Amino acid sequence: MQEAGEDLTAARRSLAEGNMKWAIIQGYYAQFHALRALVFARGYREKSHVCLRHAVEALYIDENILPSSVLEDFTFAMRTREGADYGCVYSEEDAHDVVRSAGAVLDQVGAIFE
């Protein structure tokens, strides 16, 4: 969770500096590291980014521990990060959405660990 928090701080800084591509990438990784912590907490390890999504769905969404919006936010961030990272396709609106959703995901995941 510490890594997730650091990624979120970096994403917000990049957003403020107008670096939309990096804000998206860092916002995605904030979500990735938070959700990865949840999977680790259950004694599992992800094998890929897509596997992480499925693990969170099975362990936390299907069990009504987290709302489906967490998975929707993560999926959007994953696709947006791939577009920014591999296709150089990104927008200011997408950057704001990913960073906002990263904050929401970290809040919801953090509540589980409290």
Q: In this model, does residue 90 exceed pLDDT 90?
A: yes
Residue 70 to residue 91: CA distance in whole angstroms? 22
Q: What pLDDT score does 114 carry?
A: 86
pLDDT digits (tens, 9 = 90+) for 17-50: 999 999 999 999 999 999 999 999 999 998 899 9
3-state secondary structure of 88: coil
Q: In this model, does residue 82 exceed pLDDT 90?
A: yes
- Considering the chain, what percentage of its residues have pLDDT values greater than 70? 100
Q: Which two tokens stand for residue 66?
A: 């987290």
